[in-house]
Amino acid sequence: MKINRIDHVGVIVNDLTAAKEFFLDLGLEIQGEGEVEGEWVERIIGLNNVRETVVMFGIPDGQATLELVKFHTPSDEKGIQQSFANTLGIRHIAFAVEDIESIVAKLKKNGAKLIGEIQNYKNTYKLCYIRGPEGIILELAEKIN
C-alpha cells in the first residue's frame, strides 16, 4: 500500500462567485466547472437529493488541486460558522507563494482580511494567515532565500 500525494482539497461554499474570485485573485487557474447530481454522488457522500456546482482549480506548475463546491440541495441548515485558527478540525489551506506582501495587498483590496500580520520565521519564511469569503483561512508562506 502506498499514498502518492494529496489529490485535492474540497471547500464547501454558499457564494461560489465570491470564492471563485478569491482563488483567481490568489493566482489559481480554473481547470473545470460543472453540475453534479445523481445516485452515484449521493452514494459516495451519503446525502440524498444532491445537486451541486463544482469548480476545480489548479496551481500553476503544481500538482495540487482545489475543489470549490456549492450545494444547491441539500443545504446546510447551520450556515457559515466562523472559526478561529485554533478551532478543532481542518482549519486552513497553506500555499507556498512568491512576493507575499503583494499577494496580501491584492487579496485585501478585494475584501480579504489579514488575521494577524506577516511574520518572519527564523529568516527562513515569511508567514501569515488571511481570511477570505465565507471564513476561508489561507496560510501564505514565502521562502526567504
Which contiguous run of DSSP H or E holds residue 30? strand 29-37
Report whether 37 contacts 43 (CB < 8 A). no
- For the chain, the 3-state helix, strand and coil shares in percent, each to the nearest 5, are 20, 35, 40
Residues 69 and 101 grouped into a single domain: no
State which residues form the domain around 124: 93-143
- Taking only the tens place, the pLDDT of each residue in 29-67 is 999 999 999 999 999 999 999 999 999 999 988 788 999
Q: What is the count of structural domains for the chain?
A: 2
Residues 68 and 103 grouped into a single domain: no
pTM (2 decimals)?
A: 0.88
Question: Domain of 114: which CATH number?
Answer: 3.30.720.110
Report whether 97 contacts 25 (CB < 8 A). no
From 64, 126, 76, 124, select the one nearest 100 (Cα to Cα).
126
Distance CA 72, CA 35 (A): 10
- Taking only the tens place, the pLDDT of each residue in 79-114 is 777 787 788 888 899 999 999 999 999 999 999 999
